[in-house]
Amino acid sequence: MTEAERILEQLRRSFYKEAWHGPAFLEILDGVTAEQASKHPITEAHSIWEIVLHTTTWIEAVRTRCLGKEFKVSDEQDWPEVTEIGDAAWHQTIIDLKDQHKKLEDLVNSLKPEDLNKPAAGSSMLNCSMLDSIIHHNIYHSAQIALLKKLV
């Protein structure tokens, strides 16, 4: 197995199913309604919806940086405000998350071994480390979502 294949496998397992650590990101989100996603059951903590938007931003940022283009994440992009609450908006949020993740998967699938050892744009990290880090980032936030889901 190549390094890119390993990264791709871990990306997919942690996002779709068969994650070693437990339920994958989308498995945890399964059944979450727009109403549940928008709630703040812990004072001053982010909602499920806000975490999904944040995760989507960082997936896009990592993909863009691994393509060799800088992506500076503003405060508004880092933790976007949920401006419209409803089933259609929640459904679109999930579509956007899946779309960004698929684009990242496609990128990883196209990387050559030498691409993994190049610095990610605007970072001191190599692409391989950046990609490993987004997997960890997604797992971290999926655990937060799992706890919030129990509270809503």
CATH number at residue 87: 1.20.120.450
CA distances from 69 to 65, 80, 135 (A): 5, 22, 20
Alpha carbon dihedral 134, 51, 88, 35, in 10-degree steps, equals 150
The series of mean pLDDT values per 10 residues for the chain, 152 residues long, is: 95 93 95 97 96 98 96 93 95 98 97 94 94 97 97 94
pTM of the model: 0.95
DSSP 20: T
Q: Which domain holds residue 59?
A: 3-151
Cross-strand pairs, 92:
none
Question: What pLDDT, on a 0 to 100 scale, did the predictor assign at position 23?
Answer: 95
- Is 136 within 8 Å of 21 (Cβ atoms)? no
Q: Which residues, including other chains, have CB under 8 Å from residue 53's CB and lie 6 or more apart?
A: 79, 80, 82, 93
- Report the largest interatomic distance among the alpha carbons of the chain, rounded to a whole angstrom: 46
Which pLDDT score is estimated for 104?
98
User: How many domains, the chain?
Assistant: 1
DSSP structural state of residue 85: -
